[in-house]
Amino acid sequence: MPKLIVFNSISLDGFFTDANGDMSWAHRDDPEFNAFIAENAEGGGRLLFGRKTYELMKSYWPTPAAMKDNPVVAEQMNDLPKVVFSRTMNEASWKNTALVKGNIAAEVRKMKNDSGLDMVIMGSGTIISQLAPEGLIDEYQIVLHPLVLGKGRTMFEDVKDRLSLNLHKTRPFRSGVVVLYYTAA
């Protein structure tokens, strides 16, 4: 059965986007961390996005700038199968993308019951807020950045009840970035 993994960057004050919805602060000029990201991208899987994150990713990864800046990750982002959850979009034009308009939790349950690829959510706090209380997320890979944004969005902003997690691994980088690996308790 495929696993569902969240891979998101957060600031020390717990935000995955700043007050303007920007996530560019999470991109670092750090060769060690960038090598980790490239290695992680080679793991494959199916990418799940909400509309906002999909539009952000689609605006960058298929571009010549992405191929120049980070060719390994760009190739994976463009070639991997993708699912975008949106009630407002009429089509998903990025290569290998399926548009799903139905109930997010029900659709993810179906995907988890298939014998397909593991799934990864990046960004997409609204999707995480809907799937976490349903117990559908198997692992949270949280990239903690050593900075404070002051304002922004948390990926759990619509979660109403306590969500207990177990830390099972960490990976620190010389830059001060730490990847925290959690599973549901």
Q: CATH assignment of 4-184?
A: 3.40.430.10
pLDDT for the residue 65 = 94
pLDDT digits (tens, 9 = 90+) for 20-46: 988 889 887 888 988 888 787 777 789
pLDDT for the residue 169 = 97
pLDDT for the residue 90 = 94
pLDDT for the residue 134 = 93
The domains of the chain are located at 4-184
Average pLDDT, consecutive stretches of 10 residues, N- to C-terminus, the chain (185 residues): 93 94 85 84 84 92 92 90 95 95 94 89 91 95 96 92 95 95 91
Select from 76, 79, 99, 104 the least CA-distant residue to 4: 104
| Cβ atoms 141, 131 nearer than 8 A | no
pLDDT for the residue 129 = 94
Considering the entire predicted model, what is its pTM? 0.91
**Alpha-carbon span 172 to 92, nearest angstrom:** 36
Question: What is the DSSP annotation of 73-84?
Answer: HHHHHHHS-EEE
pLDDT for the residue 118 = 92
